[in-house]
Amino acid sequence: MEGHYRPTTDPAGRTTGCVIELGGRPIGYLQFYRWADWTHEPPQDGEMEIPLAEDPWGLDVYSGEPDLVGRGIGSRAVALACRYLRDARGARVVMLTTDIDNLRAQAAYERADFRKVSRVLDTDTRGGERVWSWLMRWDAMRGGADEAAPA
């Protein structure tokens, strides 16, 4: 994992990547970006409509080491990233997507104070087909998650 993602952690890039570590062990990866930096045209039918006027940040998370699932580590990492975006980057809104069937991820994001907004046809694909996902939103004005609850 580290060899694959570590080169993407350049803070000067449009996307900032972060390796999630626990006791020095790389256990996950997350990246964040201003959504407007990656959106160039109005959405077509079936595409996500992101409220660009709110200058939302996007967050992508890759985790789930089998021996660490269910310990709340992902929720805490996501909450920490949102607090960083709020405090250091001035983010008011952070959004992400998660597969409709991934109930564990949805619960983890809800523990980090995300709320489901709408079902969207994500740009991620499986077997060449785009997948239905939940678009989820974190709002700094609602207070945001200061500490994610343990799983």
Torsion angle defined by CA atoms of residues 27, 76, 22 and 150, in that order, rounded to the nearest 10 degrees: -100
**pLDDT tier, 68 (very low <50, low <70, confident <90, very high otherwise):** confident
CB contact at 8 A, 37 and 56: no
| Structure confidence at residue 8 as a pLDDT band (50, 70, 90) | low
Full-prediction pTM beyond 0.95? no
Average pLDDT score over residue span 136-141 = 93
d(CA 55, CA 37): 10
**Amino acid letter at 136?**
M
pLDDT, position 37? 80
Q: Is 86 or 65 the better-scoring residue by pLDDT?
A: 86
What pLDDT does 6 receive?
56
Q: Is the pLDDT of residue 81 over 90?
A: yes
d(CA 11, CA 18): 9
Nearest-angstrom CA–CA distance, 151 and 141: 24
- The single-letter DSSP state of residue 42 is P
Give dist(CA 97, CA 135) in Å, integer.
Answer: 5
What is the rounded CA–CA span in Å between residue 151 and residue 69?
A: 9
11 confidence band (pLDDT: 50, 70, 90): low
When mean pLDDT is compared over 37-46, 81-90, 137-146, the highest value belongs to 81-90
Residue 146 has pLDDT above 80, yes or no: no
